[in-house]
Amino acid sequence: MRNYRTPSGDGSTFAGPCEPPTDHATDPPERPGPRESPAGVGYPRSVAGQEIDAVVVPTGRHGLPADIVAEHQRERILAATIAVVGNRGYRTTTVDHIVKAAKVGYVAFYELFEGKEDCFLAALGRIVSDTRTELAERVSTELPWDEQISGGLRVLVELIGAEPERARFVLVEAQGAGRDAYRRYEEAMDEAVPKLAEGRALRSKGAPELSAATEEATLTGVAWILQQMLSDEDGSSPRQTLVAATRVALAPYLGESEAAKLAASAAKS
Amino acid sequence: MSAARERLKEAMLELAIEKGYEATEVEDVVILAGVPRAEFERCFASKEECAIAVFDHFQADFETKVMAAYASEEAWPDNLRAAAYAIADWSVANPRGMRFGTVEMLWISEAAQARRLHGFQTFLGMIEAGREAAPDPDRVPPDTAGRLMGSMAEILTRRMQGKGFDARAFVPELMALIVTPYLGEEAAARELTIPSPPGPQEG
C-alpha cells in the first residue's frame, strides 16, 4: 500500500467521512510568539497549530481481517507521529500523545512498536524511502549530471513545499531524536554522495584536486538551505531556494560562475 | 564555586558521554560524584540544568580562547585560520567537552539545542567577515555565512560521533571550503598548502 499521503500534495491524507480529531494532544504548546529566525536544530519552533489529517479508517468494530486493520493502524500511528512531533518536538512527545492522535489503543501501539523511538525511526524510514522513490521516478539518470542534480533538488523543494511536516521530520527533528535517528539521517543524506561525486569527473584537467570532505560539505550546505524553507520568517520563494541550493550543489564541481548560470536557468524551466 | 558542584558536573559529563543523557539518572550522577542527593538539589533544579551547566562551563572557556586567536591576526582569512586552529587545539585538550557540546547537547532538550546552536553562531561574524575581503562582495550570496556555519557545525558533529578525528589535519580543508565562495578557487587551493602553526605544546 502506497502510504498515507495523496499525490495532490495538499497535505491531506485519504479524504473521507471520518471527522478530524478534536482531542487536545495535538494542540500546540503555549509559546510566546511566531518564530523570528531560520529553521533547524536549535532554532525556536513555530506556532504551527496544524490539525492532523488522520488516516481515515473506521475506528471501532468492523469485520476487517486483523492484518489489514493492523496495517491501517500502523499508517495512522506513523501519520500521527509526524504531526505530533512536528507540533511539539521529539523530546516532549509521548506515546500517549501519539495514540490519542492516531485513535489507536495502547495495546495496538505496542504490538506494532517498542516505544516512541522505535515509532519515530519507522516514520523516518518511511519518509526517506518515499522520497527516494519519488526522486527515482521523477529524475532520469539519462539526463546530463547537472540536470540530474538540479532536477533532484527541484523534487525536494516541491516535496518540502507540499508536505512541510514530513520535511521537518527528516531535516530538523531527526538530528535531535537520539543516536539512532541521527545515524539514519546521516545515512539518508549520504545516499546522495555517489551522485554528487560524479561531478568530479567534470572538472577541468588542470583544476586542483577537491578535498575529501567536499561532498559532505556540499550536502550539509544544501540541507541547511532546504531547512530554511521550513522557517516562517524565511522570505525566499521556492524558486529562490532552488536556485541557491542548485548553485551550492554544482559550484564545487563546475565552478562558481557556471554553477550560478545553470542554477538560474534550471529554476526557470 | 563549590567542589560538590564541580564533581556533579564532572559526573554528568562522564555519564552523558558513556551511556547517554537520557539513560542517565540523577541518582547515577550523585553516586559517581560521591555527593548526597540533597546537595544535587541545592546546586541544580533538574538533570537538564546540570547538563546545561556543563555546557556553559566549556563554552565560556572555548569562546575565550577562540576569540583571542581570531583577534591575534589582522586580515581575513588569517584571523579565521587562527580561530580554526584554536578550535582544533581546544578539541584536542578537551575531547569530552567538544563531544558533549556538539553531540550530546542535541539529545537533551530543545533548550539545550538552542544553547548549542547559539554556541556555533559565535562564528557567523568570523565567516561573514570574508564578504569584505571578497573582490566582488555583491556576488556572494546573502546567506553564505549561515550556510557555511550550518555545514561546518554538522560536519564537526558527525566527526565527533566517531573516534580519532584529527581536528588539526582538518583545518586546511575547512578553510578551503569556507574561503571558496568569498575568495575563489585559487585562494581555496592555497589554503590546502599552508602549513599548520606549531601546536600549543610545541610553540
pLDDT in tens, chain A (269 residues): 333 333 443 433 333 344 444 444 444 444 333 334 577 888 877 644 444 444 444 455 667 787 887 788 999 999 999 999 988 999 999 999 999 999 999 999 999 999 999 999 999 999 999 999 999 999 999 999 999 999 999 999 999 999 999 999 999 999 999 999 999 999 999 999 999 999 999 998 888 888 889 999 999 999 999 999 998 777 789 999 999 999 999 999 999 889 999 999 988 86
Closest listed residue to residue A227, CA positions, set A176, A265, A173? A173
User: Residue B173 and residue A212: Cβ atoms within 8 Å?
Assistant: yes
Q: Residue A210 has what pLDDT?
A: 87
Q: Check CB contact of B16 with chain A, cutoff 8 Å.
A: no
Q: Which one of B52, B55, B100, B107 would you mutate to disrupt binding with A, by most A Cβ within 10 Å of its Cβ?
A: B107
DSSP-derived letter for residue A92 is T
The tens digit of pLDDT for each residue in A114-151 reads 999 999 999 999 999 999 999 999 999 999 999 999 99
Residue A204 corresponds to which amino acid? Answer: S
The tens digit of pLDDT for each residue in B174-203 reads 999 999 999 998 899 999 999 999 887 654
B18 and B117 share a domain?
A: no
What secondary structure, in 3-state letters, does chain B show?
A: CCHHHHHHHHHHHHHHHHHCCCCCCHHHHHHHHCCCHHHHHHHCCCHHHHHHHHHHHHHHHHHHHHHHHHHCCCCCCHHHHHHHHHHHHHHHHCHHHHHHHHCHHHHCCHHHHHHHHHHHHCCHHHHHCHHHHCCCHHHCCCCHHHHHHHHHHHHHHHHHHCCCCCHHHHHHHHHHHHHHHHHCHHHHHHHCCCCCCCCCCCC
Q: Which one of A43, A45, A91 would you mutate to disrupt binding with B, by most B Cβ within 10 Å of its Cβ?
A: A91
Interface of A with B (CB under 8 A): 38, 40-45, 89, 91-92, 175-179, 182, 186, 207-208, 211-214, 216-217, 220-221, 223-225, 227-228, 244, 247-248, 251-252, 255-256
Residues of B within 8 A of A251 (CB-CB) are 180-181
User: What is the C-alpha radius of gyration for chain B, rounded to an integer number of angstroms?
Assistant: 19
Closest listed residue to residue A179, CA positions, set A74, A77, A90, A85? A90
B179 and B160 share a domain?
A: yes
Q: From residue A102, how far is each of A39, A76, A95, A111, A148 by CA, in Å?
A: 27, 5, 10, 15, 38
Q: Mind telling me how many Å the CA of A99 is from chain B's nearest CA?
A: 22
Burial of A77: CB neighbours in 10 Å, binned 0-12, 13-18, 19+ = buried
**What is the C-alpha to C-alpha distance for residues A183 and A175, in angstroms, rounded to an integer?**
8
User: What is the C-alpha radius of gyration for chain A, rounded to an integer number of angstroms?
Assistant: 20
Q: Which residue range forms the structural domain that includes residue B13?
A: 1-44
Q: Which residue has the cell 544544501?
A: A222
Q: Residue A69 has what pLDDT?
A: 78
Per the structure, the count of domains in chain B is 2
B67 and B132 share a domain?
A: yes
What secondary structure, in 3-state letters, does A187-223 show?
A: HHHHCCHHHHHHHHHHCCCCCCCCCCCHHHHHHHHHH
Number of neighbouring beta carbons within 10 Å of residue B57: 17
Please enumerate in sequence order all residues whose Cβ is within 8 A of that of B68, keeping only pairs 6 or more positions apart, or say none.
B86
B143 and B165 share a domain?
A: yes
* Residues of chain B numbered 156-195 and touching chain A (CB < 8 Å): 158, 161, 170, 173-174, 176-177, 180-181, 184-185, 188-189, 192
User: Residue A244 and residue B117: Cβ atoms within 8 Å?
Assistant: no
B28 and B106 share a domain?
A: no
Q: Residue A176 has what pLDDT?
A: 94
| pLDDT at residue B18 is higher than 90 | yes
User: Residue B113 and residue A45: Cβ atoms within 8 Å?
Assistant: no
Mean pLDDT, residues B16-29 taken together:
96
Q: Which one of B177, B186, B191, B193 would you mutate to disrupt binding with A, by most A Cβ within 10 Å of its Cβ?
A: B177
B80 and B177 share a domain?
A: yes
Q: Does residue B198 fall inside a structural domain?
A: no
Q: Residue A67 has what pLDDT?
A: 80
Mean pLDDT, residues B134-143 taken together:
92
Which of B113, B147, B174 minimises the CB distance to A41?
A: B113
Report the alpha-carbon angle B111-B114-B115, nearest 5: 90
Q: Does residue B49 fall inside a structural domain?
A: no
B182 and B99 share a domain?
A: yes
Query: Residues A183, A184, A185, A188: is their CA dihedral positive or negative?
Result: positive
Q: Mind telling me how many Å the CA of A157 is from chain B's nearest CA?
A: 17
C-alpha cell at B83: 580561530
B64 and B97 share a domain?
A: yes
Q: Does residue B203 fall inside a structural domain?
A: no
B32 and B59 share a domain?
A: no
Closest listed residue to residue B129, CA positions, set B71, B60, B42? B71
Give the ipTM of the model, two decimals please. 0.92
Q: Quick check: B155 and B173 in contact, CB under 8 A?
A: no
User: Residue A212 and residue B114: Cβ atoms within 8 Å?
Assistant: no
Q: Mind telling me how many Å the CA of B131 is from chain A's nearest CA?
A: 15
Q: Residue A195 has what pLDDT?
A: 97
* Domains of chain A listed by start with CATH number: 24-115 (no CATH), 119-203+210-268 (1.10.357)
B35 and B100 share a domain?
A: no
Q: Which one of A85, A186, A211 would you mutate to disrupt binding with B, by most B Cβ within 10 Å of its Cβ?
A: A211
CATH number reported for the structural domain that contains residue B6 in this entry: 1.10.10.60
Helices A66-88 and A95-102: angle between axes, nearest 10 degrees: 120
B106 and B31 share a domain?
A: no
B88 and B153 share a domain?
A: yes
Report the alpha-carbon angle B132-B133-B137, nearest 5: 55
The tens digit of pLDDT for each residue in B70-101 reads 999 999 999 999 999 999 999 999 999 999 99
